[in-house]
Structure 1
């Protein structure tokens, strides 16, 4: 069973992710939330706040349709042992949280930074001076009382270790702070974890992502 602080962070992540991606409103379930995403290979996701074996097996049994995904906040080996061979894991992830504050965001020479906002989502794009993609990210704000949700942080392979990830994160955090946000949550990958921790984020729980991918005989 997930403790209350993690459950609150999961709910904030769900609400912000939906805003960030333009997905359907989350539907509350006894075990968590169902979200219709509407992509060919990601039609629906089920986010479990109750990550016990019984809940995971029950949801998986009812979601055996290509395009369905589960998000579970438990040890990856344990979750995969509860599921059958038709569920394929993505890379391991982490649910992370941080207190937000304004920080200086330094733009390295030879790069351009652009930010724009639509609705409650602010996006950041970093390119080289000739317009080549270098890094990006976005943040969804749910109001001063709700954590902001950082999403889709990406740095092009040839532009890493130049401070662009920190630039994107700090620019997004500053935008959220200006709107009154004091905390943030995100779903991070192993590649991003070191960056986030260096910026003051901490891991709350592992994040296991699996998709239904039945094997043909």
Structure 2
């Protein structure tokens, strides 16, 4: 939590547009082929249906709607997510809710700081498209997955999602190359506004490419003690 406590208040966006979060959550759902988000009071809800995540509620700010919802839920697997700090959220919900690893909403409204380079000849690119989602894979010559990521185009926003590199293929520049390929798709569609939600580890990587933190994104869930 030290990284959060040192996080400058001046860097935290206070008025997150509902439309921006709705576009991001729409992309999140499209990427996973899930039902699209629906409005829940001042927030949004997605029926996820996973074993470890049945449903998620997302709010642009901490308010009474979220607090009242937290008081009505007692079962595990339902996530409450909000653009607020973990300390703020913990101060408003009961101790049955456990804070999850920190997330960061991030933006990049210019081309990323990625030099042009060729992909090592031991790898090749694969492309797939579904819904409004473009999937890019970097695979080895024998078909093993090395790195993968998605970009989802929602109106004027390009949302980057599920970016990952296999452990034994890290530190080879694959993630940067992958992000460049995804960015090419956004630019080819005339979209220059980029958005994603990063983990603590991922945040540092995206910052190195020129992304900036837009808001803290904090999640809580009631743990399954069975």
Q: Please indicate the TM-score interval, normalised by the length of the shorter structure.
A: 0.7 to 0.9
Q: Distance in 2 between matches of 1:105 and 1:35?
A: 39
Secondary structure of 2:216's partner? strand
| Superposed displacement of residue 100, structure 1 | 4.9
Counterpart of 2:134 (choices 122, 127, 132) is 122
Quote the residue 1:17 is aligned against. Answer: 28
Quote the residue 1:107 is aligned against. Answer: 119
2:47–2:54 CA contact under 8 A, matched in 1: yes
Quote the residue 1:198 is aligned against. Answer: 208
| Superposed displacement of residue 68, structure 1 | 0.8
| Superposed displacement of residue 173, structure 1 | 1.3
Q: Distance in 1 between matches of 2:21 and 2:190?
A: 20
Q: Distance in 1 between matches of 2:191 and 2:49?
A: 29
Quote the residue 2:10 is aligned against. Answer: none
Structure 2 residue ranges without an equivalent (≥5): 1-12
Structure 1 residue ranges without an equivalent (≥5): none
| Superposed displacement of residue 5, structure 1 | 4.6
1:84/1:175 CA distance change after superposition, 3 Å: same
Q: Which piece of structure 1 moves more, 57-66 or 192-201?
A: 57-66
Q: Distance in 2 between matches of 1:110 and 1:152?
A: 23
Quote the residue 1:41 is aligned against. Answer: 52
Measured on the aligned residues, the alpha-carbon RMSD in Å equals 2.2
2:22–2:37 CA contact under 8 A, matched in 1: no
Relative to the length of structure 1, the TM-score reads: 0.87
Q: Distance in 1 between matches of 2:105 and 2:166?
A: 23
Q: Which piece of structure 1 moves more, 203-212 or 76-85?
A: 76-85
* 1:45-79 deviations in Å (ceiling 9; x for gaps): 00011324x34321212333222111111111222
2:61–2:84 CA contact under 8 A, matched in 1: no
1:148–1:181 CA contact under 8 A, matched in 2: yes
Q: Which piece of structure 1 moves more, 59-68 or 171-180?
A: 59-68
Secondary structure of 2:178's partner? helix
Q: Distance in 2 between matches of 1:4 and 1:206?
A: 12
* 1:145-183 deviations in Å (ceiling 9; x for gaps): x21111101111222111111111111111122122121
1:17/1:166 CA distance change after superposition, 3 Å: same
Q: Distance in 1 between matches of 2:134 and 2:73?
A: 33
Count how many residue pairs are aligned between Structure 1 and Structure 2.
212
